[in-house]
């Protein structure tokens, strides 16, 4: 960055000096030309007055004087009557010269052009004399190129001096500009008093830091919850086993203790499986290859697997709708449907109902699960997708709930850009819907 800033500043200076060189050369050329014109006009007036006093014989005296000025007298017919540089008899007719025509017409005339006689650029000024002839005075004009060449050494010296100065200033200014960036407090980016242009970057870093902190806190909380959740069934299993080991259980109670150990072990296995599933979703380590999946068929398979669990609680389940083909991750979609339907059974009343509908809508595929269970209080609706969150912990323990089912549903929905909504009334039941995005066909693209 430092080198780029320095190169940019030197390049800007070089371009500026080049433009300045051209402009200064042009200005000096114009000023020199104006001074030359003024001198030539004044000299022409002096010669005109001398001729008026002494006659045309005054011109013959100019031959003996070595001057830079060329003096010419031209007759009314355009023939050269006198020239201080050349033999007038060898010169062409000058009636068509711009300055001569203007002088014959209005009394004075001027022009700047390359002379065919001396092969140099001259400024010509002509005045009409009393006898009707034209007096013309000319002097060499430095061209714009020659003016630029004359100034070149001076401009090179100035350029070198300026380049050295700019290089030193660029190093100093670059160091000053970069210093606040090098001293940025990345941990607290918004506390840095720095350039306004860096505000979006610092805001992005601050947002990223907050997200990292949130993830770190979530992982910390998750670890604590996992430890607590794992400890509970393990403590129960260990306690029951220790009692049996010490022979403190009556023979008729062994079956009851064994059943409790079995339930706690099953709960522990379920908890570990859910934790593994959720960890895979967090780390995106699940198989992300999408395929054409029929949501209706998956739902029927899930309901079939849950039939024994529903029968044990005398819950009647029904599936309605139509075949819906959706491109997604089959394993995750299966887990999502399973967890929602399983919750509808677990938190239902004995003899209740679970109605499942799968089909297409104008906005895309939709899965709807409605139960006649205990319902969820309104103050808990915003938190039921949090990990290990339970509305009724005692009831969840009885049903074997881990508090991770709806978290798995939420993560699965995020992977499929789907939206999960919940409506519930305490004592009347709960309705959970998953709305999947509508897939755009090739003809709509």
d(CA 356, CA 32): 98
Average pLDDT over every residue of 100-121: 84
Q: Lowest mean pLDDT: which of 247-251, 362-366, 428-432?
A: 247-251
Q: Lowest mean pLDDT: which of 47-61, 103-117, 208-222?
A: 208-222
Position 150 scores a pLDDT of: 73
Six-digit token pair at 244?
A: 């049996």
Whether the per-residue pLDDT at 66 is higher than 70: the answer is no
Position 232 scores a pLDDT of: 64
Position 121 scores a pLDDT of: 81
Q: Which domains does the chain have, with CATH numbers?
A: 2-146 (3.30.450.20), 186-285 (1.10.287.130), 291-435 (3.30.565.10)
Q: Lowest mean pLDDT: which of 125-134, 136-145, 219-228, 358-367?
A: 219-228
Beta bridge partners of 334: none
Whether the per-residue pLDDT at 444 is higher than 60: the answer is no
d(CA 323, CA 329): 17
d(CA 214, CA 219): 8
d(CA 371, CA 384): 16
Average pLDDT over every residue of 149-169: 79
Position 227 scores a pLDDT of: 66
- Mind listing the pLDDT tens digit for each residue in 80-96? 888 887 777 778 888 88
Average pLDDT over every residue of 34-41: 88
115: CB partners within 8 A, 6+ apart: 121, 122, 138
Whether the per-residue pLDDT at 289 is higher than 90: the answer is no
Average pLDDT over every residue of 222-242: 71
Whether the per-residue pLDDT at 298 is higher than 90: the answer is yes
Position 294 scores a pLDDT of: 94
- Mind listing the pLDDT tens digit for each residue in 382-409? 888 776 666 665 545 555 555 677 887 8
Average pLDDT over every residue of 243-248: 82
Query: What are the phi and psi torsion angles at 389 (to 5°)?
Result: -80, 130
Average pLDDT over every residue of 240-252: 82
- DSSP annotation of 76: T
Three-state SS across 376-440?
Answer: CCHHHCCCCCCCCCCCCHHHHHHHCCCCCHHHHHHHHHHHCCCEEEEEEECCCEEEEEEECCCCC
d(CA 270, CA 408): 13
Whether the per-residue pLDDT at 348 is higher than 90: the answer is yes
Whether the per-residue pLDDT at 192 is higher than 90: the answer is no
Higher pLDDT, 168 or 48: 48
- Average pLDDT score, the chain: 80
Position 421 scores a pLDDT of: 92
Position 436 scores a pLDDT of: 93
Residue pair 237/268 in contact by the 8 Å Cβ criterion: yes
Query: What are the phi and psi torsion angles at 442 (to 5°)?
Result: -65, -35
Give the range with max mean pLDDT: 47-61, 90-104, 169-183, 198-212: 90-104
Average pLDDT over every residue of 314-318: 95
- Mind listing the pLDDT tens digit for each residue in 369-388? 999 999 988 888 888 877 66
Check residue 373 and give left, alpha or beta (phi > 0: left; psi -120 to 50: alpha): beta
Position 188 scores a pLDDT of: 73
Six-digit token pair at 217?
A: 């806190």
Position 368 scores a pLDDT of: 95
Give the range with max mean pLDDT: 46-55, 147-156, 234-243, 281-290: 46-55
- Mind listing the pLDDT tens digit for each residue in 20-31? 878 887 888 788
From residue 180, how far is each of 7, 9, 186 by CA, in Å?
Answer: 21, 20, 12
Query: What are the phi and psi torsion angles at 388 (to 5°)?
Result: 65, 10
From residue 261, how far is each of 59, 232, 257, 267, 272 by CA, in Å?
Answer: 138, 12, 6, 10, 16
Whether the per-residue pLDDT at 68 is higher than 60: the answer is yes
Q: Which residue is listed with tokens 């300055």?
A: 99
Whether the per-residue pLDDT at 175 is higher than 80: the answer is no
Q: What is the pLDDT confidence band of residue 124, given thresholds at 50, 70 and 90?
A: very high
Helix (H) or strand (E) holding 370: strand 364-371
Position 351 scores a pLDDT of: 93
Average pLDDT over every residue of 156-168: 80
What is the residue-wise DSSP string for 246-275? TT-S-GGGHHHHHHHHHHHHHHHHHHHHHH
Position 442 scores a pLDDT of: 47
Nearest to 291 by CA among 260, 338, 345, 330: 330
Query: Percentage of the chain surpassing pLDDT 70?
Result: 80
Position 125 scores a pLDDT of: 94
Residue pair 141/121 in contact by the 8 Å Cβ criterion: yes
d(CA 244, CA 258): 9
What SS3 class is residue 3? Answer: helix
- Which ranges constitute the DSSP H helices of 62-198? 98-106, 144-182
Q: What is the pLDDT confidence band of residue 319, given thresholds at 50, 70 and 90?
A: very high
Tell how far CA 218 is from the center of its chain.
Answer: 31
Residue pair 85/70 in contact by the 8 Å Cβ criterion: yes
Q: Lowest mean pLDDT: which of 34-43, 59-68, 359-368?
A: 59-68
Helix (H) or strand (E) holding 24: helix 2-54
Query: What are the phi and psi torsion angles at 354 (to 5°)?
Result: -130, 120
Position 288 scores a pLDDT of: 59
């Amino acid at each position: 960055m430092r080198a780029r800033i320095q190169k940019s500043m030197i390049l800007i200076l070089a371009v500026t000096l080049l433009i300045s060189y051209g402009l200064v050369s042009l200005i000096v050329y114009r000023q020199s030309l104006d001074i030359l014109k003024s001198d030539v006009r004044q000299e022409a007036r002096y010669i005109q007055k001398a001729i008026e006093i002494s006659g045309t014989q005054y011109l013959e005296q100019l031959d003996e004087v070595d001057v830079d000025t060329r003096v010419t007298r031209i007759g009314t017919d355009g023939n050269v009557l006198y020239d201080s540089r050349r033999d007038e008899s060898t010169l062409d007719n000058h009636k068509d010269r711009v300055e001569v025509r203007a002088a014959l017409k209005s009394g004075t005339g001027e022009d700047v052009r390359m002379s065919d006689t001396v092969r140099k650029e001259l400024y010509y000024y002509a005045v009409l004399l009393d006898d009707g002839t034209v007096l013309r005075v000319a002097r060499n004009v430095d061209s714009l190129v020659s003016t630029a060449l004359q100034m070149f050494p001076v401009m090179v010296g100035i350029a070198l001096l300026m380049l050295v100065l700019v290089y030193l200033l660029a190093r100093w200014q670059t160091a000053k500009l970069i210093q606040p960036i090098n001293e940025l407090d990345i941990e607290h980016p918004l506390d840095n008093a720095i350039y306004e242009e860096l505000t979006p970057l610092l805001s992005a870093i601050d947002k990223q830091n907050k997200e990292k902190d949130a993830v770190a806190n979530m992982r910390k909380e998750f670890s604590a919850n996992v430890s607590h959740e794992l400890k509970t069934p393990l403590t129960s299993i260990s306690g029951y086993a220790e009692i049996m080991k010490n022979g403190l259980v009556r023979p008729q109670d062994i079956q009851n203790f064994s059943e409790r150990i079995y339930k706690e072990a099953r709960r522990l296995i379920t908890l570990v499986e859910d934790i593994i599933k959720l960890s895979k979703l967090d780390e995106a380590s699940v198989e992300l290859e999408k395929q054409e999946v029929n949501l209706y068929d998956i739902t029927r398979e899930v309901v079939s697997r849950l039939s024994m669990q529903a029968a044990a609680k005398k819950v009647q389940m029904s599936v309605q709708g139509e075949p819906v083909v959706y491109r997604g991750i089959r394993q995750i979609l299966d887990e999502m449907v399973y967890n929602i339907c399983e919750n509808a059974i677990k938190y239902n009343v004995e003899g209740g109902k679970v109605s499942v509908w799968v089909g297409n809508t104008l906005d895309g595929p939709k899965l709807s699960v409605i139960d006649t269970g205990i319902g969820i209080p309104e103050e808990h609706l915003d938190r039921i997708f949090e990990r290990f969150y339970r509305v009724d912990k005692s009831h969840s323990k009885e049903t074997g709930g881990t508090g991770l089912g709806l978290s798995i549903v939420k993560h699965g929905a995020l992977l499929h850009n789907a939206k999960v909504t919940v409506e519930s009334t305490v004592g009347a039941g709960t309705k959970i819907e998953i709305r999947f995005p509508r897939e755009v066909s090739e003809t709509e693209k």
